[in-house]
Chains A and B, each alone.
Chain A
């Protein structure tokens, strides 16, 4: 009879001295199954969304540019600096595939990069942070088995995205070679950023840190290639393009020369990065990162100690992000307006939807852009004000309300920030649309006119803020879902209401469409009505917030 101890000793004696290399990967297959099981739905949704976008864009571009003559005309004007900077240097722009690349390639590539970064971190560093990796590693699981399984699953996901994109494009009648190269170019970008996230997952100690670090590298890759595409010689970007993993994907030039070898560069980089990550993993303890945990200040600054200052400090990142996004969007809107107006003929049904009641296509388009910009700023205001509810449901409101600050003052400090910032953003982004549009038509005086037209929407943004406060006070448990839902339908109604054939009195009377558009005759009445509504909602909301019980989640 053998005891358990004797059996155990025998197992050990089979692996004397240093552990076998293969042991570091014990349990790999099981972990692959485990990770797929926990993430299949997430990956499926990404796949449907990314491949589906290709079908939609190809179809819409086929309608927008039905004949070869249309496409040739487009190719002649496609190469503007803002297109090169934002979506990449156009080439083969007179083919449907080339147009697809201009419209969608960058979006797909960056979206996939984000998808794999989040996926790798979610299954890697986040699991380790939560202590679940420790649980698994306590069992028969090799040191590297889990990480390797994580990256292999993410790589499989990247291949799936590439293949499904190619198949959808083939289904839309695009040339087979071009579509395969396009699919591979997506996969290549995905693979490199798996490597990047694998390394940042070793470096940072928190999942937030790992995601942030990888996102910074993605942003650097994006900006590097933007610089390269701007310094292009004809349709060849500068050599700098090779310094960016996104550039490698672009250099495969699907639907153009269709080169395969840059894909090899991406694969090699991915393998090298993962090998580096394995090396790092061998050197560190479970739960620890290579980079030290970042310290913060020991004391709160005088500003942070005030309620408004605290709101600003807590939303600092969000405010900077939204501001950059809004300003870049505004410059983009302004730059492409004339080119788009030239392309859209007045009898095109999509164009009519855009321009609303305006007689002139360019005026209508500019008014549409100005409103889109306002909606973006309103989304920021909504998100910022929504923290009133978030603080309460998380329990942090209890912390503050049990101090010497009234709920009304507290809520006002949370509303002041989005109200003031949205005013500033409206002025600056409006000016940016006007200035960049003015630059494209050689009229520098457009900025002020656009800034004023944007500021006319300030009462509408205040109404959004007031509505959020009202819902947070009266319907705390459903406030977030309710406000975002209603705002979302307001966006669709304001921008595309005409296309749905809704009655005019509905389409023209949303808080955004009721405001006189750029180029229309100005009337202060709608602004006063909207502003008055906002005041009423705020008063009712604050009154309720003051007199109701605190309502945690």
Chain B
């Protein structure tokens, strides 16, 4: 199985002085897939990535990247990996073009044709000194260097930090293209829309531990959908169906949340009521994510209070 995984992390732990940054984290990236990596600030995303890059050494658990040990085989593995940090720091007195060449040379492949193509896509002027680049432009330098490489695995740590919506669109296309080329991508992000659009699988972590992982469809199965429908007759019938919650009625229009498993019963109860304009909304990634954090629980409570 390991052969088909670009990244396989199991039970990873890491301590910094007295704080426990990672506490048994699991993460898998299937070869050729795009894996989303979600978690709030300080939850351990960057620590995990730095362990994968051999910059930090894990205290416990196992981590395998492209079949090798990220710490022991760092130099060899890095020939096959491209990394973009969330805050790309460059040499202020070199130009962006020089930095891209140097980063490519450090990996061992500089393909001028590809570099020029991605420079154009990201609309980046490579003759400007890094000192005068904005945050977004420094990010672009990292992205061009990564996408122009022939690396099998792209590790992207909140890479669209500081990019405008137009460039986020370009980024999305580039990730899709990388996937089409058969490359694997680990994408740590804050942006749900980005992850929903791009990622085959999602791993959600909290306090250094994996709380949810799987394909988006799988994750949605675990969650309640929201349904809105217009009916004739009394909505009280519905409240008797097991699995229906948060039922509200506004005249003929009712909405409620429902467990995946209770759907057949709900449909049977609805049928005699002449349902029209039925809308079923699966939980968004944002809801999936927020469910794991206290904030959402409190907000939901506040919303249901009269």
Contacts and interface: CB of A to CB of B under 8 A. Distances in A.
A167 to B, nearest CB: 42
Contacts of A548: 57
Interface stretch (B126-134, B240-248, B296-304): B126-134
Contacts of B111: none
B129 A399 contact: no
Given A206-B131, A296-B98, A396-B89, A550 B50 contact: yes
Contact of A396 (B90, B93, B128): B90
A489 interface: no
Given A298-B126, A396-B91, A406 B106 contact: no
B85 A395 contact: yes
Nearest to B99: A300
A402 B55 CA distance: 7
B78 interface: yes
B79 A404 contact: yes
A404 B131 contact: no
Contacts of A206: 131-132
Given A403-B103, A404-B108, A550-B55, A294 B129 contact: yes
B55 A549 contact: yes
Given A404-B107, A550-B56, A399 B128 contact: no
A302 B102 CA distance: 9
B95 A297 contact: yes
A168 to B, nearest CB: 40
Given A294-B129, A298-B97, A304-B98, A399 B85 contact: yes
A451 to B, nearest CB: 33
Contacts of A396: 89-91
B262 to A, nearest CB: 48
Interface string A397-427: 0111111111000000000000000000000
Contacts of A208: 131
A23 B28 CA distance: 65
Interface residues of B, number: 40
Nearest to B98: A300
A402 B84 CA distance: 10
B94 interface: yes
Nearest to B52: A402
- Residue of A294, A403, A550 with most chain B CB atoms under a 10 A cut-off: A403
Interface string A274-304: 0000000000000000000111111110001
A305 interface: yes
Given A398-B55, A402-B83, A403-B78, A300 B131 contact: no
A295 B53 CA distance: 33
Residues of A contacting B: mostly:
loop
Interface in B101-159: 101-103, 105-108, 110, 112, 126-129, 131-132
Interface string A214-237: 000000000000000000000000
B76 interface: yes
Contacts of B163: none
Contact of B102 (A205, A295, A304): A304
A406 B75 contact: yes
A314 interface: yes
Nearest to A394: B89
Interface string A21-57: 0000000000000000000000000000000000000
A297 B125 CA distance: 11
Contacts of A402: 53-55, 78, 81, 83
Given A295-B128, A406-B74, A549-B57, A313 B85 contact: no
Nearest to A547: B57
B200 interface: no
Contacts of A60: none
A398 B85 contact: yes
B50 to A, nearest CB: 7
10 contacts: A300-B97, A300-B98, A304-B98, A395-B89, A396-B90, A396-B91, A399-B85, A401-B74, A402-B53, A547-B57
Given A298-B126, A314-B93, A399-B90, 20 more contacts: A205-B132, A293-B128, A295-B95, A295-B127, A296-B97, A297-B97, A299-B98, A299-B112, A300-B102, A304-B98, A304-B101, A305-B101, A395-B87, A400-B106, A401-B55, A401-B74, A403-B78, A404-B107, A405-B106, A549-B57
Query: Ordered nearest first, which 3 A-B pairs have the shortest CB separation?
Result: A403-B106, A300-B101, A296-B95
